[in-house]
Amino acid sequence: MGRYYSIVFLFSFFFVACKKDNGSPTKVYPAPTSYNLAPLPLFPANNLPANNPLTVEGIELGRALFYDPILSGNNTQSCASCHNSSYGFTDNGRQFSQGITGQTGTRNSMPLFNLQWNNRFFWDGRSSSLQSQVLIPIEDPIEMHEQLPNAIQELQALPFYRERFGRAFGDEKVDASRIAKALEQFLLIHVSGRSKFDLSMTGLAQLSPSEQRGLDLFRAEFSPPGSGRPAGADCFHCHGTVLFTNNQFLNNGLDSVFTDIGFQRVTGSASDRGKFKVPSLRNVELTAPYMHDGRFSTLEEVVEHYNSGIKSSPTLDPNMKSQGSGLGLNPQQKADLVAFLKTLTDTSYVNNPMLQNPFEN
């Protein structure tokens, strides 16, 4: 409990005097302070939810909830347990995350950034809004394994949280909707767009010759052997635009037979069998292992998959089907591609003080 008292000082800067605290949910607080999320150069306009405007107080509440194990069934795991900032907000290099009962899942923890431009969440897209997504791991029996009424009761019992819900939402009532909104607000400020690559696009940095060659390969289309055209890695079809994802669900040739049917589980359509969300490649240097099941440990293994390991199936992406046995890149080209991918690392994002654990600072 010491953390809750020590952090009162940290948050006191934002505190606005209100009626005398009697612990009642009817206590009224001033309106929260609007938070302006600055747009990034070359990025789409902000795409924020109309029903949950960002506020300083809402973000701070979400930050506390994100890092607080109080949301798990036995108060041992927080959201941050599987989303560590040092790993691009993924799970510490683990293939699968371990829940509070020791069970492991079957999907690799996903990074958390630029979520405002997503329209489906999880590897299989089963959640259509960030606000609905954030509650699911809390109640998932193989993750945080909590029941929301219990979490609500625990939060409501703490003056620390009553006050912060009051500042964020106008009164001290704690409910699932407010938990979701606060977490959503905190996650929406996880914006990553200041990598070396980004700086190079605006003339503030210069890619090395290897990185530049990798970028050229990244943007160049695949050319069939014998076509007489130069080689290309054809990455941009799925990982194009400034977001480095097309936000689609595609089959990238990992398997011919699927133990995990992915997007089909959501849509029920056989044409979606074995399809998974195309992840952004930003910060990919930090987010190993790779793919929905974390089967590849290194970026070199990932590149080799696309180079020579594509497995055919009826739902394989057409762009990959037309590549036949693979890209046919030579060792130098593969190394250049990896060098470019590492320019997408954004240390200003992973080290952003606003995203760190408030109970440790």
Partner 1 sequence: MNYTFDNGTLEFGEQLFNTGANMVSFSNIQYYISGLELRKADGSWQNIGGHHLIQSTKTGPALITFNNIPKGQYDGIRFLIGVDSLSNHADPALWPNDHPLSVLVGGVMHWSWNSGYIFIKVEGDYDDVGGARAGFSYHLGRDDLKVRVEHLGTTINLNSPLKVGFNFDLKSFFSNPNVLRIVPTTSSTHSSVGDTVATILHQNLQESFSWAGIIQ
Contacts with partner 1 by CB under 8 A lie at 42-45, 47, 117, 119, 201, 219, 221-222, 224-227, 229, 236, 240-243, 246-248, 271, 312, 314, 316, 318-324
Q: Which is nearer to partner 1, 171 or 272 (CB)?
A: 272
Quote the least distance from Cβ 42 to partner 1, whole Å: 5
Query: What interhelical angle do 209-219 and 331-341 show, nearest 10?
Result: 100
Q: Which is nearer to partner 1, 229 or 265 (CB)?
A: 229
Quote the least distance from Cβ 322 to partner 1, whole Å: 4
Residue with tokens 């509440």: 61
Rounded to whole angstroms, the Cα distance separating 87 from 111 reads 8
Q: Which is nearer to partner 1, 191 or 316 (CB)?
A: 316
Residues contacting 58, CB < 8 A, separation 6+: 32, 35, 52, 168, 169, 181, 182, 185, 186
C-alpha atoms less than 13 angstroms from C-alpha of 78 in its C-beta half-sphere: 17
In the DSSP assignment, the letter for residue 249 is E
Rounded to whole angstroms, the Cα distance separating 135 from 109 reads 15
Q: Which is nearer to partner 1, 96 or 222 (CB)?
A: 222
Quote the least distance from Cβ 214 to partner 1, whole Å: 14
Quote the least distance from Cβ 270 to partner 1, whole Å: 9
User: Which residues are bridge partners to 251 per DSSP?
Assistant: 316
Quote the least distance from Cβ 216 to partner 1, whole Å: 10
DSSP SS3 for 277 = strand
Q: Which is nearer to partner 1, 48 or 148 (CB)?
A: 48
